[in-house]
């Protein structure tokens, strides 16, 4: 027997079928997409657990609100004491963590869900590492003291920089850390940060930055043997064998107490906050040589401690530790113009921008034991607080690094 349907029955069946297809598509979308835009790794230096290790909090960032939420397995042991600095490999697959009190760098493989898996540990050539930077070819680390028998906290000496060559990842192995390059002038795996005019003065490094090209690396530092202190930027060219050569004119004058260092994505400008003077020094780069920008230094808040330049939009941001604030700037031909200041948690010491969309900014607040999250205007550079900010962390956060969620700013498809 043949069934017959009238037109109204057909419409009902078509509507029901459309709803079913829509429901299936929605369910599929829910299973194949995520609102997580980034994973953010925050080092906390206060000892925790039976091994007195520091910890790494792993946060996922919501792409719509900027809300930061720790993943279920977080935190992870930093595999060392007092983690103070972090860097991410150029393929976003490894996190390098500097544990100052153990003089080591721990490499973690980053899972697709943001979880961290310890993979390798190397000792730094010097004593008490404090800063790290990475590109595709090299891993740069700065130590507080050179590895000399006479150097100790009781008898400090000048710091040093070392270079670990990196071998690219394969289908089965992550990025590999090689043996540190040898300085041919001293036949040792480090380059001392020495003032030729005052070789006995104790030079204290504070941070390290490598330009996007990988051809030049810079170390911010200050002469602690004089009062007031005198700030410098030590500049080096990097050859194909990971060997460093001092740049002409290095070290370059840099205020009183430079606390951090960064550069823009194109490698045309270098910026250094001066902790003592409450400003930011800007430099143009030509064949590695630094020249102060017109209008530099640019005003900041009290005790500026960290700086980041947006890689996609003409803005820069500086944390002010004493003010518990972040200052926003517009950037034009390298020059910084202040846009405003925004409150953070207590004592911000590190700052980052999400690498997927460059739409979210976060600060690590050392004494606040939390993170402050912002949404930044990509047209105006101004900041709005992210949903539910601030976000609690483990005690005394010191460093921030981040990777895109599976390399995309639009979730996983």
Using an 8 Å Cβ cutoff, are 66 and 387 in contact? yes
Show the DSSP H helices in 310-412 as ranges: none
In angstroms, rounded to a whole number, what is the distance separating the alpha carbons of residues 333 and 344?
28
Which parts of the chain sit beneath pLDDT 50? 1-32, 408-413
Looking at residue 212, the DSSP 8-state letter turns out to be: T
Query: Which pLDDT value is given to residue 53?
Result: 86
Burial of 26 (0-12, 13-18, 19+ CB in 10 A): exposed
Q: Residue 388 gets which letter from DSSP?
A: T
Place of tokens 């003010």: 323
Would you mind telling me the total number of residues written for the chain in this entry? 413
Strands 36-48 and 397-404: antiparallel
Q: What percentage of the chain's residues is helix, strand, coil (to nearest 5)?
A: 10, 50, 45
Task: Give the E-state strand segments of 89-196 in sequence order.
Answer: 94-99, 104-110, 116-123, 127-134, 138-145, 160-167, 176-177, 191-192
pLDDT on residue 9: 42
Q: Which residue has the tokens 């809300």?
A: 67
The pTM assigned to this predicted structure is 0.90
The pair of structure tokens assigned to 137 is: 């070819």
User: Could you state, in order of their start, the residue ranges of all structural domains in the chain?
Assistant: 35-407
Listed in order, strand segments (DSSP E) in 135-250 are 138-145, 160-167, 176-177, 191-192, 203-210, 216-223, 230-238, 244-246
Task: Just give the CATH number of 35-407.
Answer: 2.130.10.10
Report how far residue 411's alpha carbon sits from residue 405's, in angstroms, rounded to the nearest whole number.
7
User: Taking the CA atoms of the chain, what radius of gyration do you get in angstroms?
Assistant: 24
Contact by Cβ (8 Å): 309, 338: no
């Amino acid at each position: 027997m043949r069934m017959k349907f009238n037109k109204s029955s057909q419409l009902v069946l078509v509507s029901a079928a459309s709803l079913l297809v829509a429901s299936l598509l929605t369910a599929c979308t829910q299973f194949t997409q995520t609102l997580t835009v980034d994973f953010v790794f925050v080092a906390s230096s206060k000892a925790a657990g039976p091994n007195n290790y520091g910890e790494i909090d792993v946060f996922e960032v919501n792409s719509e609100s900027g809300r930061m939420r720790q993943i279920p397995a977080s935190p992870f042991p930093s595999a060392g004491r007092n983690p103070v600095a972090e860097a991410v490999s150029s393929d976003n697959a490894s996190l390098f963590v500097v544990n100052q009190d153990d003089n080591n760098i721990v490499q973690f493989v980053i899972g697709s869900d943001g979880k961290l898996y310890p993979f390798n540990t190397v000792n730094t050539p010097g004593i008490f590492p404090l800063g790290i930077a990475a590109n595709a070819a090299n891993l740069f680390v700065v130590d507080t003291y050179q590895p000399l028998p006479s150097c100790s906290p009781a008898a400090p000496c000048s710091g040093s920089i070392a270079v670990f060559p990196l071998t690219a990842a394969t289908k089965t192995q992550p990025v590999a850390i090689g043996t540190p390059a040898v300085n041919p002038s001293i036949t040792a795996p480090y380059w001392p940060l020495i003032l030729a005019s005052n070789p006995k003065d104790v030079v204290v490094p504070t941070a390290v930055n490598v330009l996007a090209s990988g051809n030049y690396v810079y170390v911010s530092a200050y002469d602690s043997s004089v009062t007031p202190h005198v700030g410098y930027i030590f500049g080096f060219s990097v050859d194909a064998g990971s060997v460093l050569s001092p740049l002409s004119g290095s070290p370059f004058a840099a205020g009183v107490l430079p606390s951090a260092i960064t550069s823009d994505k194109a490698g045309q400008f270098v910026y250094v906050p001066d902790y003592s003077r409450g400003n930011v020094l800007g430099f143009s780069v030509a064949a590695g040589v630094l020249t102060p920008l017109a209008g530099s230094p640019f005003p900041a808040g009290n005790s500026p401690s960290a700086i980041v330049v947006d890689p996609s939009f003409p803005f820069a941001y500086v944390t002010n530790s004493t003010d518990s604030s972040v200052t926003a700037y517009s950037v034009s031909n390298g020059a910084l113009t202040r846009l405003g200041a925004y409150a953070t948690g207590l004592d911000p010491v590190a700052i980052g921008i999400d690498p997927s969309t460059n739409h979210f900014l976060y600060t690590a607040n050392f004494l606040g034991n939390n993170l402050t999250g912002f949404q930044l205007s990509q047209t105006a550079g101004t900041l709005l607080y992210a949903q539910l900010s601030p976000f609690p962390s483990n005690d005394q956060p010191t460093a921030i690094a981040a990777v895109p969620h599976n390399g995309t700013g639009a979730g996983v498809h």
